[in-house]
Amino acid sequence: MGYCSNYFITVNTDDEKKAKEIFKAIEDRSGYNIEKDDSPDSGIVFDAKWYDSDDDLMEVSKEFPETVIEMDVEGEERDDNWTIRVKNGEKEIVRAVTVTPPFTKILIPGERDKQSLTPFEALLVKSINKLTANGGFKNIDVLTEKEKNLLKEQAEELLIIAYQL
């Protein structure tokens, strides 16, 4: 028994040889095989009980002090997702937050209707709906140019409204 997670690792370097060395060092230290995808700077460990992943990445990062290693972790539980970045033995962890935009059409009595939203709230709802319309948020690295431009436009609209408040 134990708790399994999926680990999506990205080595932030343009040097493919260095990326291979880092992945090999992670594999040697952790004992896990990192499955490679199409990109030379990313790999995946599926369905693993890698309880020392943070410590392993911090130790490997000391061998490559100028490189940032990032790992997105998806746990078995619904809200057990986080990202860790390490560089030269230091780490920073951020927990994923699930945000559900408010309903705007089918309301329960007592809920605010669409007309009572502030301009900022209305734009935020509109932006979230646009960005999540085709299956939800994605890692910024896998967005198409069209999606990146849409995200940029929405962010600019939100900043304009925010400055007006």
- Measured CA to CA, the distance from residue 111 to residue 103 in angstroms comes to 9
For the chain, which residues score pLDDT lower than 70?
1, 110-121, 125, 127-144, 147-148, 158-165
Could you confirm whether domain 5-95 is CATH 2.60.120? no
Confidence (pTM): 0.64
Quick one: which of 93, 109, 88 has its CA closest to 22?
88
Domain boundaries, the chain: 5-95, 114-164
Task: State the pLDDT at residue 106.
Answer: 82
Quick one: which of 38, 119, 50 has its CA closest to 84?
50
Task: State the pLDDT at residue 102.
Answer: 73
Cβ atoms of 131 and 101 closer than 8 Å = no
